[in-house]
Amino acid sequence: MRIGRCAAALLAVALLAACGGRREERRPFVYFSNFQRTFNDMNGKHLAAARELGIEPLASAEEVGDASRRLRRVESCRWYEVDKLTHSVPYLVDEAEELLETIGENFRDSLESKGLPDYRVIVTSVLRTDESVARLRKGNVNASANSAHVYGTTFDIAYARYAKESRHETTRDKLKTVLAEVLRDLREEGRCYVRYEYKQGCFHVTARK
């Protein structure tokens, strides 16, 4: 009888420990809030950083090879996907391309650490030339002609769309939270300015020195 009681007690302890472990793994996901308050770097900050770090604006995409600084071609890779670009060309200065890669890498690492399915971020806008800005303004009268995008330091990352990398899925809001946490940390490190663009469905990011 004593053996039975001991076995039962041990079993109860084991079950309690197992349940406790599961509860730890299933802690509620904490959603990011106050996007606009956190990512409120105004256009003036983006422009100042872009002018200090970036290239002289280009008239057209044909001038990329003659830019005042070397530009890296930005292509879909393991860390991010480049969307079909209609009003920009896929080039950034070194520091901005490295920042973009860091964002993509940190995003995937963070998903893994949280036990979430694997996705990549999607880049929706990169370097704009005078020609592409004029084309953009024809279709969107609210588009600014005075944009940090013309300096090769700035890119937009979608917060409502992601490139799925596994058969498992998670919610768009969870992915948005993870991306926001990654951007917040890099912004606090002084590596970038970030603007939450609600109407455009993206984070507007400019690299800093």
With beta carbons less than 8 A apart as the criterion, state whether 67 and 106 touch: no
With beta carbons less than 8 A apart as the criterion, state whether 107 and 199 touch: no
pLDDT at 21: 43
pLDDT at 160: 97
With beta carbons less than 8 A apart as the criterion, state whether 55 and 69 touch: yes
- 27 confidence band (pLDDT: 50, 70, 90): confident
Does 15 have pLDDT greater than 80?
A: no
Q: Is 123 helix (H, G, I), strand (E, B) or coil?
A: strand
Q: Could you tell me what percent of the chain has a pLDDT over 70?
A: 83
- 6 confidence band (pLDDT: 50, 70, 90): very low
- pLDDT, mean of residues 91-97: 98
- pLDDT, mean of residues 65-79: 97
Average pLDDT, the chain: 88
Q: Give per-residue pLDDT as tens, 126-180.
A: 999 999 888 776 656 555 668 999 999 999 999 999 999 999 999 999 999 999 9
> Which residues have C-beta within 8 Å of that of residue 140, sequence separation ≥ 6?
none
pLDDT at 91: 98
Q: Where are the domains of the chain?
A: 1-30, 33-207
What CA–CA distance (Å, rounded) separates 204 from 157? Answer: 7
pLDDT at 186: 98
pLDDT at 133: 83
CATH number assigned to the domain covering 33-207: 3.30.1380
What CA–CA distance (Å, rounded) separates 116 from 130? Answer: 41
pLDDT at 19: 47
pLDDT at 3: 47
pLDDT at 146: 80
pLDDT at 83: 98
- pLDDT, mean of residues 190-203: 96
pLDDT at 144: 62
pLDDT at 189: 98
Does 42 have pLDDT greater than 90?
A: yes
* Per-residue exposure over 176-190, b if at least 16 CB sit within 10 Å of its own CB, e if not: bbbbbbbbeebbeee
